[in-house]
């Protein structure tokens, strides 16, 4: 049975869903990815290489898992996480405790980022594009707020290409993950949405094309962890 909402209800549906699962979100992520998720995020931050003293942005930041890593690169600069689900950022508040004035959460919509043009040197986004109503608009907004020379990297789930791996991945993602979500996160529906939204998501080549269409240049991507995730990178020249 599909749990995917119609496009006109998607934003509210997504916000409510993440508000429900906010308190257990990190725990479920670590278990469901066998602890690989933080390594993927670290790699994304390495790719965008935020400059010391610069400004970095994480779009759809959730509980802020990218922010300590971004802040460790920008140091006395600023790492900002933006999201429209306030309970996710509240759950992540302790991660910002040691970062003082060098990291902050901001409430806002990825489709209308609350920042002036050309504000950020480096932009990350992880597991967000599946959840937005308009992926092209989200990439266009990130492009708008990127400074010339800025780099953006997008981490998302993908479907493995090897048929055997793909079958095993599907069994795990669609059969096991909803139960992990139920047991550790108390919400089977949200973790049924996850594999279903992944199935409906454009493939890596299409995603790269969307980035190019809104202006990102030198766009490339690599698949990681047997093709279960894709990391796309682009630059604003
Ligand atoms: C799967 S979580 C990812 C959180 C975090 N980036 C991570 O790596 O764990 C998706 C996040 O995107 C946020 N989100 C989805 N659509 C959004 C939008 N249009 N504007 C702002 N945030 C959005 C959700 O509120 C949620 O916190």
| Span 47-69, average pLDDT | 98
Q: Which atom of ligand 1 is the closest one to the Cα of 155?
A: 8
pLDDT for position 1: 83
**Looking at the predicted structure, is the pLDDT value of residue 62 above 90?**
yes
pLDDT at 20: 96
Q: For residue 221, what are its two tokens?
A: 């991507």
Averaged confidence pLDDT in the chain: 96
The number of the ligand 1 atom at minimal distance from the alpha carbon of 108 is 21
Q: Domains of the chain, with CATH numbers?
A: 7-235 (3.40.50.150)
> Distance between CA 177 and CA 51 in Å, rounded?
37
Residue corresponding to tokens 């969307």:
210
Of 15, 61, 83, 90, the residue with max ligand 1 atoms within 8 A of its CB, to mutate for a pocket test, comes to 83
Q: Average pLDDT in the 37-60 region?
A: 98
Q: How far apart are the first and last CA of the chain?
A: 45
Given the structure tokens 């999201």, which residue do they identify? 83
**pLDDT digits 0-9 by tens, 138-196:** 999 999 999 999 999 999 999 999 999 999 999 999 999 999 999 998 899 999 999 99
Percent of the chain at pLDDT > 90 equals 98
- Listed residue (183, 200, 206, 181) closest to 191, CA to CA: 181
Q: Is 53 left (phi over 0), alpha (psi -120 to 50) or beta?
A: left
């Amino acid at each position: 049975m599909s749990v995917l909402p119609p496009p006109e209800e998607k934003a509210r549906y997504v916000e409510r869903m993440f508000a429900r699962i906010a308190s257990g979100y990190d725990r479920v992520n670590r278990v469901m990815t066998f602890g690989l998720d933080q390594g993927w995020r670290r790699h994304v931050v390495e790719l965008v290489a935020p400059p010391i003293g610069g400004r970095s942005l994480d779009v759809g930041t959730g509980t802020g898992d990218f922010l300590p890593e971004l802040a460790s690169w920008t140091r006395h600069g600023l790492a900002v996480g933006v999201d429209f689900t306030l309970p996710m950022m509240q759950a992540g508040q302790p991660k910002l405790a040691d970062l003082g004035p060098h990291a902050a959460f901001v409430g806002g919509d990825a489709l209308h980022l609350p920042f002036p043009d050309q504000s950020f040197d480096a932009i990350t986004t992880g597991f967000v594009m599946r959840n937005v109503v308009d992926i092209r608009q989200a990439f266009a907004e990130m492009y708008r707020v990127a400074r010339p020379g800025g780099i953006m990297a997008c981490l998302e789930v993908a479907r493995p290409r090897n048929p055997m791996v793909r079958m095993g991945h599907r069994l795990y993602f669609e059969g096991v993950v909803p139960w992990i979500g139920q047991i550790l996160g108390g919400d089977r529906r949200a973790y049924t949405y996850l594999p279903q939204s992944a199935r409906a998501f454009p493939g890596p080549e299409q995603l790269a094309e969307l980035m190019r269409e809104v202006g990102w240049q030198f766009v490339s991507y690599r698949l990681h962890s047997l093709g279960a995730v894709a990391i796309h990178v682009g630059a604003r020249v």
